[in-house]
Amino acid sequence: MNFNLLIMADNKCKKLKNCSKRHIRRITNEFCRRFDNEHYSDTTSENDIVIRAPEIQSTIVYVSTSSNVEPKMNNDENNGHNLPIFSLSNNTSAQHDENEYYSSSSNNSSYYSSPISSSCDSYDNNNINLVEINNVDSLIENNKDENTADDCSNNLDMNCSLVEEQLREWHFNYNTTLASFSSMLKIWKKFKKFELPSDARTLLSTPRSVRIKSIEGGKYCHFGLKKAVHSIILALKLEIGSIKEINLTLNIDGLPISRSNQSCFWPIMISELRLKQKVFIVGVFHGYGKPKCPNEYLEEFISELVPLINNGFLTEEGEVIPVVLSALICDAPAKSFVLCTSGHTAYGSCSKCTIIGKYINNRLCFPSDEEYSEFNLRSDEDFSKFLYKNKYQHGISIFTTSVPSFGSVSCVPLDYCHVVCLGVMKKLIYLWVKGPRFLKLKPSDITVISEKLIEMQQYTPKDFARKPRALSEFLNWKATEFRQFLLYTGPVVLKSVLKSEYYDHFIILHVSISILVNSELIKNEHFITYSHKLLQMFVFKFQNLYGEYLVSHNVHNLLHLSDDVKKYGALDVFSAFKFENNMMFVKKLLQK
């Protein structure tokens, strides 16, 4: 594009508001186009060029073809700027010498003398050229209108993409139905200038088809493990930087999705030991009950997992990162389902030791003979050899036969969320509120505790997921509320209300769990040993205070918590809390 013509147009455009450089370029291109396309005058010499315009007031602009011209500078009284002077005249037959300058009195604009642009290079540069340009103001205004429309169109396109992104985010945050979302989009199309689709599925880029596999008991959809591992790597790089190894944690659990029937989801979720909140769904099963065959349900997941463990994950940078399945984190029913072992109501249901339960007062219980008794622990080797057949193992798990370096005993830690919070703590409160007469608190005592908990609501910081609720509502409490009661509010509200022997017994559990959830204290093995002894004392005194028949599967499992802490770290590292939280988001996304 000719630079000198650009300056000419720029000086004229300074009088116009909101005239961008893009408008100026369009105007200059129009200058060159007219220069090339108009008829030549017969009155000019062979090498003179005159562009004829319609019969309206015109201006003759003298353009020098000499490249070494230095224009004389004159002070413009109107704007105070030093501008070059050029020739403006209405005499089309005027003859000018090369590099000669004239001043204009017809308008207050000034133009720079310069060579013609590349579109005019075919002409003889040794002669003076005359260019007649009609109504420059009209040309600028026309181009301004056209370019303003183009800029508005580009701005609308950019704004439209931003609006679409905001609408998608709004839809997922507030979980609107597709029907209501589509209805809103149609209203937008009527009153807004954005080219939005009429259907929500188009805006959300919903896949037109999803590969769903029919398996025994329902249907299964596999989303892919590699995609999830890639997302885990990105999340780890943001949190910890360099990655030497990926320690996957796997969670499998049932999610009821209907109150009127047994319809439920069984998602396969993975995370990483060092990630506190991030959870990724690999696959989902839907049916009216759990899958009939666990190996068929896990087949696609295992087929992707095994190559990753053997070969590692190849990143986009060409780096191979080792992948390990470190832990299978499940509650007792899901764990027995996946590993093909006895459920928590069986005599030999403990996944860590070979204790055999007793049947007392129509209950299965696991009492200890001594306060610091030790049990025969199970081993990965015996499990893989199927030595616990009939008493504990009732089938061959795909994890045992297919997944390398996975211990079906050592790599299946006890879940602190279900064992301690929803298990032992809930059981204690149940005994205090609804238990036998010799254990149950007076209604007035329950009211006092509830009032204290409600009073604490105004002092509860945002660090807690929920504010305390009345003790009378404990059946509706979530796992985080039982954890809050055990670690923070319980020792305060139970003081002077609960009998001293029961209160002291509760404090033993409070102190031991407080140690095991503290990532700093467990770095010292003496604290882990001390916590283990406290838990042994708690379990033994539990059967003396509450009765042997109440030592349930969860109460017994307290004896094995410290071993898992030694391997994995603090209890929250290998708990199911983040997976349970993700279940809530999955359920919110469900639409009929």
With the CA atoms of 29, 32, 36 and 38 taken in that order, what torsion angle do they form, in degrees rounded to the nearest 10?
Answer: 90
Q: Over the stretch 479-493, which tens digit does the pLDDT of each residue have?
A: 999 999 999 999 999
Specify which residues 363 forms β-bridges with. Answer: 360
Q: Can you read off the two tokens belonging to residue 128? A: 């003076």
271 neighbors 251 (Cβ within 8 angstroms): yes
Q: Residue 454 contacts by C-beta under 8 Å, 6 or more apart in sequence?
A: 468, 469, 470
**Helix residue ranges, H only, 192-298:** 200-203, 225-239, 294-297
pLDDT digits (tens, 9 = 90+) for 77-92: 444 444 433 333 334 4
Long-range CB contacts (< 8 A, 24+ apart) of 332-338? Answer: 332/418, 332/553, 332/554, 333/254, 334/252, 334/253, 334/254, 335/412, 337/252, 337/290, 337/294, 338/252, 338/294, 338/298, 338/397, 338/399
Q: CA 487, CA 509: separation in Å to the nearest integer?
A: 9
- The whole model's pTM is what? 0.70
pLDDT digits (tens, 9 = 90+) for 452-480: 999 999 999 998 989 999 999 999 999 99
Alpha-carbon torsion (442, 448, 452, 454), positive or negative = positive
Could you tell me which residues come within 8 angstroms of residue 567 by beta carbon, excluding any fewer than 6 positions away? 410, 413
The tens-digit pLDDT sequence of the chain (592 residues) is 445 555 555 555 554 545 555 555 666 566 555 555 544 444 444 444 444 444 434 333 434 434 444 444 444 444 444 443 333 333 443 444 433 333 333 333 333 333 333 333 443 444 433 344 444 455 445 554 555 545 555 555 556 678 788 888 888 777 788 888 888 888 877 776 667 788 888 888 777 677 899 999 999 999 999 999 999 999 998 888 888 999 999 999 999 988 889 899 999 999 999 998 899 999 999 999 999 999 999 999 999 999 999 999 998 888 999 999 999 999 999 999 999 999 999 999 999 999 999 999 999 999 988 777 778 999 999 999 999 988 899 999 999 999 999 999 999 999 999 999 999 999 999 999 999 988 899 999 999 999 999 999 999 999 898 999 999 999 999 999 999 999 999 999 999 999 999 999 999 999 999 999 999 999 999 999 999 999 999 999 999 999 999 999 999 999 999 999 999 999 999 999 999 999 888 887 776 6
211-267 confidence digits (pLDDT tens): 899 999 999 999 999 999 999 999 998 888 888 999 999 999 999 988 889 899 999
**In terms of DSSP H, where are the helices of 486-574?**
490-493, 500-516, 525-545, 553-557, 561-568
* Strands 255-256 and 264-272, sheet pairing: antiparallel
Q: Which amino acid is at 32?
A: C
Report, in angstroms and rounded to the nearest whole number, the Rg of the chain calculated over CA atoms: 40
Return the axis-axis angle of helices 21-37 and 136-174, rounded to nearest 10°: 140
DSSP 30-60: HHHHHHHHSPPPTTS-TT-------SS-EEE
Measured in whole angstroms, the distance separating CA 533 from the mean position of its chain's CA atoms is 42
